């Protein structure tokens, strides 16, 4: 069971989508991905997705062996944002600073 947070951050998890995904019994990867996509659409432009995902993992991940479907999807999402070497992509990376 994930740690509960006393201070709920609406900017980090609009509507509590991620929080509630951890409460769904027998949730599977496809449902977790669907919830993740809904979450990604709802976070505001002022919130960087990679930082938000790291904060969510900090709140809910139960360690390196955590196999909860939402934890796996969050890790997958973070990995896709950071790329193969842990760096961010986009136009800045192509311009070389």
Q: Which residues contact 73 (CB under 8 A, 6 or more apart)?
A: 29, 32, 33, 35, 36
Distance CA 22, CA 71 (A): 9
| The Cα angle at residue 72 between residues 68 and 75, in degrees rounded to 5 | 140
Number of structural domains found in the chain: 1
- Domain annotation covers residue 8: no
What's the whole-number mean pLDDT along residues 45-61? Answer: 93
Q: Out of 26-30, 32-36, 46-50, 71-75, which region has the weakest mean confidence (pLDDT)? A: 46-50
- Domain annotation covers residue 90: no
- Domain annotation covers residue 60: yes
- Domain annotation covers residue 52: yes
- Domain annotation covers residue 97: no
- Domain annotation covers residue 55: yes
Quick one: pLDDT at residue 17? 93
Quick one: pLDDT at residue 6? 45
pTM to 2 decimal places: 0.76
- Domain annotation covers residue 22: yes
Quick one: pLDDT at residue 80? 86
Q: Residue 97 above 50 pLDDT?
A: no
- Domain annotation covers residue 2: no
What's the whole-number mean pLDDT along residues 63-87? Answer: 86
Range of the domain at 37: 14-83
């Amino acid at each position: 069971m994930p740690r509960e947070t006393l201070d709920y951050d609406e900017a980090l998890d609009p509507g509590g989508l991620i929080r509630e995904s951890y409460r769904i019994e027998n949730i599977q990867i496809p449902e977790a991905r669907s919830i993740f996509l809904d979450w990604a659409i709802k976070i505001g432009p002022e919130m960087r997705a990679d930082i938000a995902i790291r904060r969510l993992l900090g709140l809910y991940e139960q360690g390196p062996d955590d196999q909860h479907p939402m934890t796996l999807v969050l890790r997958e999402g973070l990995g896709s944002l950071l790329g193969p070497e842990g760096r961010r992509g986009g136009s800045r990376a192509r311009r070389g600073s």
